[in-house]
Amino acid sequence: MLTGELRNRVDQVWNAFWSGGIANPLEVIEQITYLLFLRALDADQTREDHKATRFKTQPVRVYPPGSDERGLPYAQMRWSHFKNVGPEQMFKVLSEHVFPFLRGLHASGGPAAESAFARHMRDARFTIPTPNLLGKVVDLLDGIPLDDRDTKGDLYEYMLGKIASAGQNGQFRTPRHIIQLMVALTAPTPQDTICDPASGTCGYLVAASNYLRATYPDMLRVPAQNRHFHHAMFHGFDFDHTMLRIGSMNMVLHGVEHPAIEYRDSLSQGSAGDAGAYSLILANPPFAGSLDYENTAKDLLAVVKTKKTELLFLALFLRLLKTGGRAAVIVPDGVLFGSSKAHRELRRLLVEEQKLDAVISLPGGVFKPYAGVSTAILLFTKTMSGGTDHVWFYDLQADGWSLDDKRQPLLESSLLGLQPLVDGRSQLSEDEHPKNNLPDVLLRWKERERTERQRPRTAQSFCVPKADIAANGYDLSLNRYKEVVHEEVQHRAPAEIMAELRRIEGEIAEGMKALEGMLR
């Protein structure tokens, strides 16, 4: 957790950008990301220098020896050097020397060029407008401690939260507590290879890495698992270079050294090379649009003939998963009950040819204030041989925050998210549960093969046999199967009913007279 002092420092950095003329929140976080990367490079070089002194060896050169083509020594491009010069000189060093160095970093070779972040620096732009703003931001960032992985990660998450609160770019962020729920439902293991084909800021991959560190604390002490975790476990695709830079830095600051965060239009014809490569997919793909058939991967169209991105992404997930692989993905409600041939066929495929595990209905305000669309979490396993027996449904009505545009917490912070789960039990009271259903979702999910089978369809969660789903045209909307308890109808005397009917009749007659008068 960040202290109040650290939050204040971040707020000061953010406000300095805004008062200095940079109002686009994505541009702010991008410029901060560049500066954090420069500070990290300098720390790496310092660490290598100390190691060389201690062991009397030649240091690994994060910064190359010599000078750039304009004659400035690379040593003067280090954070520890330029932070101590005046604003005018610092501005010239970064704009004329450091950023050209960063843009050529990936092609230069050496340790720095191999970082996950470096390969997305080809079009890095320095857009801080004035020397004074640069000097102020560098001073503020220099005062933030970045030695602890958790602090670095929380710091960046706090900054990313400001993208959402700024409004226009909130669509890039799935609420953190919803991501953590989806990760917990799929329970990643050290053997998994995890992919998010619409990765954005890499929130799902970060949450998965945090879950693994907490659940398997000895994992990184095993050389093979350490290597897999840092070099082969995490894969994210996006076609926005800004998102790639931000996502890569998010992963690095959370302690994943070399995640595979790559430029890719996941639905395009040229992206069919890794079918069956992943054991776990976590995603909230974009689902407001359609594509041209000509630009869409033909193997996806062979699964489902459609232009709708939400259906194409589901077909993509099935292609990317290896047999036995599992997925937790967010879809709009239309996927669950859409009547087109493509909708029905994709649902049939999930139920009959794969193993559909669960449908968790999310409240309509989860993505406010950016979107009020109703959504659900689908959990399924790729089998290519069926296996759906019962599908578990959960009616998630509250996620701990108000469902209006303000999205204010409804409980104290210790009772939000999955935190109230202690030793396999929820610490929420009967009065608190209606404000935060997330711990209950996870507890009931673990009982879906046992006690959940006996729950009536009037309950908040229940199981539906595959035969019932098939009989309903593979409709997966919760309301199709949920039964409502009707209150007893209150009996009224016939005279009372007749009096009420005469009253209504009189109101109708008066309304008709008024309408006739207006027409004259």
Task: Please tell me which residue, 132 or 267, carries the higher pLDDT value.
Answer: 132
Kindly write down the DSSP assignment for every residue of 292-355, as one continuous string: -GGGB-HHHHHH----BHHHHHHHHHHHHEEEEEEEEEEEEHHHHH--SHHHHHHHHIIIIISE
Tell the residue number behind the tokens 């495929």, with chain if given: 349
pLDDT at 333: 93
Compute the distance between CA of residue 235 and CA of residue 202 in angstroms, rounded to an integer. Answer: 9
DSSP alpha helices (H): ranges in 376-472? 438-445, 466-471
CA 164 to chain centre: 12
Work out the pLDDT band at 489, boundaries 50, 70, 90.
Answer: very low
Tell the residue number behind the tokens 């400035």, with chain if given: 72
DSSP state for residue 231 in the 8-state scheme:
H
> In this predicted model, what pLDDT tens digit does every residue of 323-355 receive, in sequence order?
999 999 999 999 999 999 999 999 999 999 999
> What is the biggest distance separating any 2 CA atoms in the chain, rounded to whole angstroms?
104
Residue 278 has pLDDT above 80, yes or no: yes
pLDDT at 171: 44
pLDDT at 458: 96
> In this predicted model, what pLDDT tens digit does every residue of 357-369 receive, in sequence order?
999 999 988 988 7
Q: What is the dihedral of CA 20, 25, 30, 33, to 10 degrees?
A: 90
**Which pair of tokens denotes residue 441?**
């979702």
DSSP state for residue 255 in the 8-state scheme:
T
CA 369 to chain centre: 16
Would you say 330 and 364 are in contact if contact means Cβ atoms under 8 Å apart?
A: no
Residue 138, CA distances (Å) to 103, 142, 158, 246, 274 in order: 20, 6, 18, 19, 41
Q: Which of 135, 171, 176 is nearest to 156 (CA)?
A: 176
Q: Are strands 421-422 and 321-332 parallel, antiparallel or unpaired?
A: unpaired
> In this predicted model, what pLDDT tens digit does every residue of 111-144 receive, in sequence order?
666 676 777 888 889 999 999 999 999 998 898 8
Q: Percentage of residues in the chain with pLDDT exceeding 90?
A: 58
The contacts of residue 258 (CB under 8 Å, 6+ apart) are 114, 115, 116, 230, 231
**Which pair of tokens denotes residue 453?**
């089978």
Compute the distance between CA of residue 98 and CA of residue 399 in angstroms, rounded to an integer. Answer: 45
Query: What are the two backbone dihedrals, phi and then psi, of residue 189, each rounded to the nearest 5 degrees?
Result: -120, 165
Average pLDDT over residues 307-334: 93
pLDDT at 118: 77
**Which pair of tokens denotes residue 155?**
């710091």
Compute the distance between CA of residue 108 and CA of residue 2 in angstroms, rounded to an integer. Answer: 36
Residue 422 has pLDDT above 60, yes or no: yes
State the amino acid at position 107 in one-letter form.
A
Average pLDDT over residues 176-190: 97
Average pLDDT over residues 5-20: 87
Measured between its terminal Cα atoms, the distance across the chain in Å is 71
